Structure 1
Amino acid sequence: MDFSVKKLASGAGLFLTRAVQFTEEKLGQAEKTELDAQFENLISRADCTKHWTEKIYRQTEVLLQPNPSARIEEFLFEKLDWKVPSRVTNAELLGQYMQDAAKEFDLGMPYGNTLEKVGECEKRLGEAEKEFLQTSAISFLTPLRNFLEGDWRTISVSLEYHIYSNTAPDFQETRPRNYVLSASASALWTEEVEKAEHELRIAQTEFDRQAEVTRLLLEGISSTHVNHLRCLHEFVEAQAAYYKQCHLHMQELQKELGRLPNAFALNSTNAIATPSMVTEGSSSPVETDTLKIEEVQAPATGTRKARVLYDYDAADSSELSLLADELITVYTVPGMDSDWLIGEKGNHKGKVPVTYLELLS
């Protein structure tokens, strides 16, 4: 019985080719395509890259969009080449609900005022999250997908067609031994053999060329790793910027809540933002009422220039208001909270938060 695995698997697609080749080799219907150790190592490295890139890509998708239905909808929109609708983040929706509730509860009351402030902050957090999602999708998720759908598909097709499909040609003369042909039949047979050998050489040359192309594609995996490394750095930077922005928004919210009437003690900035609580009875040269900011003198050495990252409104007369991108002089004094510095610009001085500054050398 002429049992052909290829006939059974015809039309099943490239993903079955390796299984077909392996089965035929086991059944003795095909000779194994021998590959050198370096080539095998390149294939193994490429398979490993594809495997882990798929896992990282899928989990990054879940991180950026936890809702499976939303992911499917966005996928369909992209495949249909439609514009993906802009989504309201959960933080934005929560902030809107809080602000709507504040209007119902009366903005003149403490609860209503607090709801309004917190709702506004939640909406800012939602906007920051939306910016982070967009940046991460462009700088990290898209390059991974481009590799899987582009470079890896090219490598895979080259492997399937030119290595695993066993296209390495072979030819054996099938004339029985001790069989004497007539002169005309012998000449015809010789002509057919020469023609077959010529086709064999052409096929072998094509196979060698395609094998070399596949080798070059596999060696390009190193460049893929370099590109993904750059994308990974950009992803980390996007996360760091996002969490830093969220931290600043929460600090501002804590300050605003601390200024509201009937504010709870835990809402003060120092209760949460300060890494170490000041022990009862201890005093700081800057925090005490007896020492005024104008009495603080800049040290002879230790002053530095700093660039302001964000606008900052002073909470009281001891602090210094800041504008983004302006340059100020900063320094510290003994016993001062590590989250704050003394800032000077022109004839004005006051406490400034470290997180709002980029210290320059």
Structure 2
Amino acid sequence: MNMKLPSFNVKDLMREAGTTISTQVSRVVQLTEEKLNLVPDKTEYDNNFEALIERQESTKALTEKIVKDCESVLVPVLGNRVEDFIFEKIEKKKPQRLSNIEFLGLDFIEAGGVFGSDGSYGSALIKTGQAEQKLGQCERDFIANTGMCFLQPLKKFLDGEMRTITKEKSVLEAKRLDLDSAKSRVRKARSLIGQQTAERDLRVAQSEYDRQLEITKLLLEGLGSTQANHLRYLHAFVESQVRYYAQCNKIMHELQKELASLGGDGPKYEIVVTDEEIEAASRNNIHSEPLNYQRARVLCSYDAKDNSELNLVANEVIFVAECSPPHSDYMHGKQGLLKGLVPKAFLEILED
């Protein structure tokens, strides 16, 4: 069977390649002359645009710093963070590792078994070890919740919107170099034909620069609206901490009572935490799932239209429930500690 091969115009390909190389060379020459202060009239951005760029750069740098430091708080061991990063990139399940407090709990339990659970000290060691393991589980839940409701949205922002802005800024800088290079060729033109060609190139370069400037400006101006979403993520992070420390407080308060019931010489002081204080700290425990919640997989990513909705990432699993009263297009969703409306069309209900 004869197959017709696609035809290639070698001259066109060479011409396009030559044009690309010529453009790159012109940009390098223009940039070099600017570094050497040999350019009399470099195109400058106006003060408003410069302020937008400054805000974008500070937003990027500070958000990256927040993400990095938060990861350091959640997973203090650098080696573990590197391992988690690798597993995340290859889309494999992260290894389940015990925390230091869980290892300590196991040591307490082991020692209590050796010393004898019928004795006061052995029994106290076992109870303390069990409490330490509960603390470890609370810490594990806190890390998972914080990752879902705080770190993941910020990382998505950096990898999505911020990366797009950075790319468009690079394109704008290239168009700016092309424009200034075209201006330079107009100044250096000696013949009438050369002058006309250079002026035509200048008009094209000016048009492309103006268009890219407008695109980049719109993206930079849109950054202001992202702070409302980031504020929601911050609220969720704080609520996660409140819940975590309230749980830890309750566990240790109960352990304190159990150890006191065993007798022996206890401490000369007692940290008194009332049941009312524990209840007040735990009142906002929004992690526990109502019976009517179901698990659902997100079919494709969705950007929230306003603060009443949740941002969704393709293939993530969230909890959903029917709205009250029921809504034909939306369900009530829970994404870690975030709550909001989610469109039914973007969901696949999973069987338990």
Give the equivalent residue in structure 2 for 1:264.
265
Alignment-derived partner of residue 166 in structure 1: 177
1:243 to 242, 245, 263: 245
Moved more, 121-130 or 151-160: 151-160
Quote the residue 2:209 is aligned against.
Answer: 207
Residue in structure 1 matched with residue 71 of structure 2 by the alignment: 61
Deviates more, 1:239-248 or 1:102-111: 102-111
Distance 1:69 1:309 in 2: 34
The match for 1:110 is: 120
Counterpart-to-counterpart distance in 2, 1:82 and 1:96: 28
Normalised TM-score (structure 1): 0.62
Farther off after superposition, 90-99 or 198-207: 198-207
Equivalents in 2 of 1:123, 1:307: separation in Å? 24
Distance 1:23 1:127 in 2: 61
Corresponding residue number in structure 1 for 2:272 = 273
Percent identical residues = 38
Secondary structure of the 2:95 match is: coil
* Aligned pair partner of 2:154 in 144, 154, 162: 144
Whole-Å separation in 1 of the counterparts to 2:68 and 2:189: 57
State the Cα distance separating 1:274 from its structure 2 match: 4.8
Q: Structure 2 stretches of 5 or more lacking a match?
A: 1-20, 284-289, 291-352
C-alpha displacement of 1:144: 2.1
Structure 2 counterparts to residues 87-236 of structure 1, below 5 A? 87-163=97-173, 166-168=177-179, 169-170=182-183, 171-172=185-186, 174-176=188-190, 189=193, 194=196, 196-236=198-238
Aligned partners of 2:63 and 2:145: how far apart in 1?
19
**Distance of 1:89 and 1:274 partners within structure 2:** 27
**Do structure 1's residue 81 and structure 2's residue 91 form an aligned pair?**
yes
Letter in structure 2 aligned against 1:246: C
RMSD, aligned CA: 3.2
2: distance between equivalents of 1:218 and 1:274?
49
Could you say what secondary structure the match of 2:186 adopts? coil
The TM-score, its normalising length taken from structure 2, stands at 0.64
Report the alpha carbon displacement of residue 121 of structure 1 after superposing the two structures with TM: 0.5
**Whole-Å separation in 2 of the counterparts to 1:22 and 1:237:** 52
> For residue 47 of structure 1, what is the aligned residue in structure 2?
57
How many residues are aligned here? 252
Cα deviation 1:169-214 (Å, max 9, x = unaligned): 43516554xx8xxxxxx7xx3xx65555444333322221111110
**Any conservation in 2 of the 1:162–1:211 contact (CA below 8 Å)?**
yes
CA distance in 2, matches of 1:131, 1:116: 23
2:329 match: none
Q: Is the 8 A contact 2:84 2:94 kept in 1?
A: yes
Q: Which amino acid aligns with 1:116?
A: I
Unaligned runs of 5+ in 1: 1-6, 12-16, 180-185, 276-305, 311-324, 326-361
**Quick check: 1:25–1:32 contact (8 Å CA) kept in 2?**
no
Alignment of 1:251-330 (within 5 A): 251-260=253-262, 262-266=263-267, 271-274=270-273
* Residue 357 (structure 1) aligns with: none
